[in-house]
Amino acid sequence: MSTIEKPSVSAPLELLNIPSLLTEEQRDIQHTVAEFLADRVRPHIGQWSENHYFPRDLVPELGKLGLLGMHLNGYGCAGVDAASYGLACLELEATDSGLRSFVSVQGSLAMFAIWRFGSEDQKQEWLPRLAAGQAIGCFGLTEADFGSNPAGMRTRAVRDGADWILHGEKMWITNGSIADIAIVWAVTEEGVRGFLVPRGAPGFSARDIDNKLALRASVTSELTFDDVRLPDSARLPDAHGLRAPLTCLDEARFGILFGAVGAGRDSLDSALAYAESRVQFDRPIGAFQLTQQKLADMAIDLNNSMLLALHLATLKDKGAVGPVQISMGKLNNVRAALAIARQCRTIFGASGITSDYSPLRHATNLEAVLTYEGTAEIHALTIGRALTGHAAFSG
């Protein structure tokens, strides 16, 4: 009598052989980051998130691994290609969006702003330390009354002799209270300009937002600038207008569209393992058709997101990616990851609402990711404007 062998099982991203699309160097980088995180983060992340704790002592280790500003060239940065940076973000967010947020803000917002718009002195002073994780940066664009519409910002910088006087408040700033240097965007008589405000500058204070239900393993703060006096050398000389901070956002949004795939992948991996081990009605729940329908749909969505991310990385390396393509990637991949994390949560039944399993933590984190760096609606309107020629952002 012949026996029917159980077919072998595949990890979701192996179904389309995604690793075959990567170079050996890209696979090595991804593997190195994943190994580090498995050792230093995975065993603790559930607890850190529950305790509202950001592991600040890991920052120099992230620097040593070359993850901070890794897509920038020079000044102690690794200068890797777009997919390598994306894959690092993917692995970081597979552990927790908070950790990827830290790396995004440090490398793609604070460091990129200095790298792209700063003076040589500013680059020499800050970039090597930020790359090594010996200093932390933050990026203050949003204000309490101006989130999606930063053009309305009220924070002002006024000339006073050779100096500037900075006055205003920024809200929802990742890394705010732990930052050694804040990149702050303010209105001046000549339009929006960026300023480097060091920790401890008289009049500069930060207060943490402690009641977050998402991104609990990340620091989010309110920044106050009460007539902070800054020399002109603190201004980013090449940043003119709102285009400058929005250009930084494109960099960070690119990392997020890869990162979201990581949160989705981790949710699906956990759900697959649970579906095999959990028995109801004398069968593993993964043997029920309805569970398999969920798993199949999620595997397709995850692979689609990954293919989109890799396509955008190829375009980015060719200098052929713009805000509209980034909006398509960020909107699609975050929305897909959020749907995957929520659906995975259902597979765990009651256990899924505890901190023993990752999908609900990923889902709550992804609620914040769906909102920051441009809300889902703002990205939809950016795509809509490209399709129709009509800007529907205001009246």
- In the chain, the DSSP E strands lie at 73-74, 77-78, 137-140, 156-160, 163-174, 181-188, 191-198, 204-208, 220-231, 279-280, 283-284
The residues facing 168 across adjacent strands are: 225
1: exposed, middle or buried (C-beta count within 10 Å: 0-12, 13-18, 19+)?
A: exposed
- Residue with nearest beta carbon to ligand FAD: 147
CA distance 200 to 182: 11
Least Å from the CB of residue 214 to ligand FAD:
7
* Dihedral over alpha carbons 272, 276, 280, 286 (to 10 degrees): 60
Residue 323 interacts with ligand TGC (CB under 6 A)? yes
**Given the DSSP bridges, would you call strands 191-198 and 220-231 parallel, antiparallel or unpaired?**
unpaired
Which range of residues in 42-50, 125-133, 238-246, 345-353 is near ligand TGC by CB under 6 A?
Answer: 238-246
Q: Angle 101-226-138 (CA atoms, 0-180°, nearest 5)?
A: 15
**Given the DSSP bridges, would you call strands 283-284 and 279-280 parallel, antiparallel or unpaired?**
antiparallel
Least Å from the CB of residue 210 to ligand FAD:
12
Residue 269 has φ and ψ, to the nearest 5°, of -60, -45
CA distance 29 to 66: 10
Residue 246 interacts with ligand TGC (CB under 6 A)? yes
Structure tokens at 26: 């890209």
Sign of CA dihedral 168, 171, 175, 178: positive
Q: Work out which of 29, 78, 217, 249 binds ligand TGC, going by CB under 6 A.
A: 249
Least Å from the CB of residue 206 to ligand FAD:
12
Instruction: For ligand TGC, give the closer residue by CB, 26 or 142.
Output: 142
Q: 101-160: which residues touch ligand TGC (CB under 6 A)?
A: 101, 104-105, 141-142, 148, 150-151
Decide if 89 contacts 259 (C-beta within 8 A). Answer: yes
Residue 247 partner contact from ligand TGC, ligand FAD, none using kind-dependent CB cut-offs of 5 to 8 Å: ligand TGC
Residue 372 interacts with ligand TGC (CB under 6 A)? yes
Least Å from the CB of residue 343 to ligand TGC:
24
Residue 236 interacts with ligand TGC (CB under 6 A)? no
Least Å from the CB of residue 370 to ligand FAD:
9
Contact residues toward ligand FAD (CB under 6 A) are 105, 139-142, 147-148, 172-174, 215, 220, 368, 371-373, 375, 377-378, 381, 393-394
Least Å from the CB of residue 255 to ligand TGC:
8
Residue 249 partner contact from ligand FAD, ligand TGC, none using kind-dependent CB cut-offs of 5 to 8 Å: ligand TGC
Q: Work out which of 32, 188, 247, 314 binds ligand TGC, going by CB under 6 A.
A: 247
Instruction: Give catalytic residue positions.
Output: 373
Number of residues located near ligand TGC, criterion CB under 6 A: 25
Contacting residues toward ligand TGC, per CB under 6 A: 101, 104-105, 141-142, 148, 150-151, 174, 241-243, 246-247, 249-250, 252, 323, 372-374, 378, 382, 391, 393
